[in-house]
Amino acid sequence: MLLNERYQVIRTLGSGGFGETFLAEDTQMPSHRRCVIKQLKPIQNNPQIYQLVQERFGREAAILEDLGGSTDQIPTLYAYFQSNSQFYLVQEWIEGDTLTEKVRQQGLFSESAVRELLANLLPVLEYVHSKRIIHRDIKPDNIILRHRDGKPVLIDFGAVRESMGTVLNSQGNPTSSIVIGTPGYMPSEQAAGRPVYSSDLYSLGMTAIYLLTGQPPQALETDSRTGDILWHRYGMNVSPTLLGIIDKAIQYHPRDRFASAREMLESLQGVVSPIPPTQPVLTQPPTLPNHTPQTVNLNTPSPTQDNNHNNILIASAIAGSLIGGSVIIGFALTKSSQPVTQQTISPSPNLPTTTPQVTETPNLKSTPQIIETPNIKPTSISQPIFTPTPSVATTSQPPEITTTINDYSWLSQRLVTNADLDNKDGVELDIMRNSIFARHGRRFDTPGLQEYFDRQPWYRPIYLPKNFPTNLLSKIERQNVDYISKYQDRNNRRHFKK
């Protein structure tokens, strides 16, 4: 089928009440580039309505052109035309997989992957809302992870489809007779035909729940008194901080949600933004051999507080009481066959900065951590870290490590540097690098590595090495694996075989 004497249809991508969507080739371009063509049909067929639909369609197409030309996370509009009382949009073809397809192929998303997704999509929504546009149909099927760079791309805006529902009301004025959105993913005000900007945040929150739990909205119960969606029992491994962010996004009433995409992003950045290496953590992560003493400083990450002096006094008092508690927690959790003779205060660069609370590290079963209070002025804490006698390893046998490894989940949040690697031997570097894979459920052919990770309480092996989908790794994780591997080769610091 040739549309508009130019676009050769390859196959049908989908169909619905408004028309069909095709994958096509542009025969008038030298590259014969592929494109997506949306065929839209008005729900009423009379000359007066057709004229109104035509006007609205032109306006909405101009908006899509503006949006797609300003960000690469919205498809570019190539053209639009009309033929046989039907309307057509010609848009960029995004090669990738929808979030629905990703879950079907690979299972649930990790918390770090969901955080990265939200951090990439919220700036797009902020821009869309700044143009006074509401997407109105955010859901897993309308977010594509692009193959070439892994970026999420937002597709299928609802405004053009709404224009197809134009009718005349009893007073003879044009109005829309349809509600755009998907049941379960759209909030109550949108279902009533009155969407607001936070309606998109609600839909994004419901999408995050699906990625984390695999539960579609229809499978979740609702509190009949408050309207709250009861999903926490399906997200037992989600940190309380992310639980709170999603819960606020999906509140029943718009006034209780984030006021804007920017506000939600700022709240999320308290979780995903890398904390400087000088930030102390009041906890006791165990260490590997040859780990040298460190001196760490308190920092002030929040730019929005006004009463710094009062916050310093309060936070300092709280921090003092937490140090003792963190030592007790560390003792209880250290899996060691030898007694630990000194306590540890060590930095962990991936923790959020919120009010003090005991929370769980993402994807760990039961490893509580103490989270820092913001706005504490720089101060210095320095204690030596327990250093057992290092073993000289020249074979692929499991290392004689009597404590659990440092928490390297921060490798999913910031890029590694030489300063992170210089004081580590081949054993720790191997485990550090492979912990990135282990956190995504990879098994290992190397017995020593497998036995080591089997001893870690957070480790949940899922994939055989040959079946491990490397695209589970984020861009930062892939860069860190490569960086550590090259560092090891350059400095001849490997213990296990590759």
- Kindly state the DSSP code that residue 353 receives in the 8-state scheme: B
Rounded CA separation 73/128 (Å): 11
At residue 498 the predicted structure's pLDDT band, cuts being 50, 70 and 90, is low
Last residue of a domain, one of 272, 302, 318: 272
Helix 261-272 and helix 111-130: axis angle, to 10°? 150
**Residue 17 corresponds to which tokens in the numbers above?**
């009440």
Q: Which residue segment(s) compose the domain that 101 sits in?
A: 96-157+181-272
Closest CA to 446 of 427, 472, 470: 427
Q: pLDDT for 288-298, tens place per residue? A: 334 433 333 33
Rounded CA separation 218/281 (Å): 40
**Which of the given ranges, 231-235, 393-397, 488-492, has the highest pLDDT on average?**
231-235
Catalytic residue among 97, 137, 156, 425: 137
Q: What total of structural domains would you count in the chain?
A: 3
**Residues 331, 202 share a domain:** no
Residue with tokens 């609702």: 222
Widest distance between CA atoms in the chain: 88
**Residues 196, 333 share a domain:** no
**Residues 375, 353 share a domain:** yes
Closest CA to 297 of 272, 316, 278: 278
**Residues 423, 327 share a domain:** yes
Residue 484 C-alpha from the chain's centroid: 24
Closest CA to 289 of 488, 393, 424, 418: 424
* Strand ranges (E), 4-85: 7-16, 19-26, 34-40, 77-83
pLDDT at 75: 95
- Is the pTM for the entire model greater than 0.85? no
Angle at 289 between CA 287 and CA 294, to 5 degrees: 60
Give the CATH number of the domain where residue 44 resides: 3.30.200.20
**Residues 101, 88 share a domain:** no
Provide Rg for the chain, Cα atoms: 27
Q: pLDDT for 124-151, tens place per residue? A: 999 999 999 999 999 999 999 999 999 9
Give the CATH number of the domain where residue 122 resides: 1.10.510.10
Last residue of a domain, one of 238, 272, 306: 272
Rounded CA separation 196/275 (Å): 34
Do 154 and 142 meet the contact criterion of CB atoms below 8 Å apart? yes
pLDDT at 328: 34
Q: pLDDT for 344-392, tens place per residue? A: 334 444 434 444 443 343 443 434 443 343 443 443 333 333 334 344 4
Do 122 and 143 meet the contact criterion of CB atoms below 8 Å apart? no
pLDDT at 333: 37
The answer to whether 139 is a known ligand-binding residue is no
Q: Determine whether 97 is an active site residue.
A: no
**Residues 393, 474 share a domain:** yes
